[in-house]
Structure formats: C-alpha cells, structure tokens
A = this chain, B = another copy of it.
Amino acid sequence: MNDGLPPQMGQSLLFLTDEQLRKGIEAMFFAYRGFTADPDRILAQKSYGRAHHRAIHFIHRSPGTTVNNLLSILGVTKQSLNRVLRSLIEDGLVASTVGQRDKRERHLHLTAAGEALERELSDAQRDRMRAAYRAAGPAAVAGFRQVLEAMMDEETRHHYETIRDKPE
C-alpha cells in the first residue's frame, strides 16, 4: 500500500517506497538460490544437504565448539542438529570428544577429510561470491553488508559479529 508518488517526500527517501522494498525482497529471495546452488550440487553427490554444510562451516570456524554452542548459532533444535552430526561423525568428517572440564559437553572438530570437504564447499561458494563482488565493486559490497547486518535479529547479529571478528 501507499506507493503513489509522495509529494512531500524528498528525493532522499525515494529508496524507502514500497516498490523499492519489494524489489529488495525479491532480490533477496532469488539471490539466495544462487548463493546455495553451487554447494548444493556438491553436497548432492555425497548425499548430504545444506544442514551438513552449515555444521561443517561453523565447526571449521570454531574448532572445539560444543554442540550447545553450535545449536544457538544455527538456530535449530539439538535433535535436528544431532542427526546431521551423527552422520558426519560416522563418515569420519567430524570428531566428537568428551569435554575434560565438563564431561557432559562434546567438543567438535573437523577431521582431515572434513577439512577437505569444507574447502571444496567454501571454494565453490566463494567463487560465486567473488564474481558478484567483482561485478558490483567495493562500494556496493560495503552497502551489501550494511543492509544484511541491519536485517538480522538482535541475537543473530551477536552470533554474526562474534564469528565475523574471529581470526581465520
């Protein structure tokens, strides 16, 4: 609603019209397909899914993380994550070790095979992202990140910032 040309609105606010917002929403929807397309192809060959990719990604980023911590980052239930972790552990991509300080906890690491798959997946995803970044240029990239960060929930943004600023 309310998308007639607004007479009182200065040029500076035209980017907030419902039409502009709709374009952003549709761009987000269609772009997310491209974002996941390349990893999805690789995963399908190995009969894994996106959930496996997400687990692998964040275990790679935070080696030794606990199941509980991974849970809150991924925003799924522990039962859902458990199924994925179990298959990754059975297949020798993830190692789960009982905590020393607290034996209830399991600390998660990627094995060599797990690191290899992580690299394959993130290489594919980065290639597309790199092409998009290159096509759009550095100023566009800065804006891209700004809008995405402003779109996150409060709690999610906290997870994002924590991981974002961790050294590789």
Q: Which residues of A contact B (CB under 8 A)?
A: 1, 3, 12, 14-16, 18-35, 37, 54, 75, 119, 122, 125-126, 128-153, 156-157, 159-160, 163-164, 168
Contact = CB atoms under 8 A, between A and B. Distances in A.
The binding surface of chain A is classed by DSSP as helix
A135 B150 contact: yes
A148 B28 contact: yes
A126 B149 CA distance: 16
Given A27-B145, A132-B150, A143-B146, 11 more contacts: A15-B133, A15-B142, A16-B134, A18-B126, A21-B129, A21-B130, A22-B168, A33-B152, A140-B142, A143-B143, A144-B146
Contacts of A75: 33
Contacts of A144: 24, 27, 140, 143-144, 146-148
A168 to B, nearest CB: 6
Contact of A26 (B1, B133, B138, B163): B163
B136 A143 contact: yes
A141 B133 CA distance: 15
Contact of A151 (B18, B23, B35, B147): B35
6 contacts: A15-B141, A16-B134, A22-B168, A34-B153, A136-B147, A137-B146
A12 B18 CA distance: 34
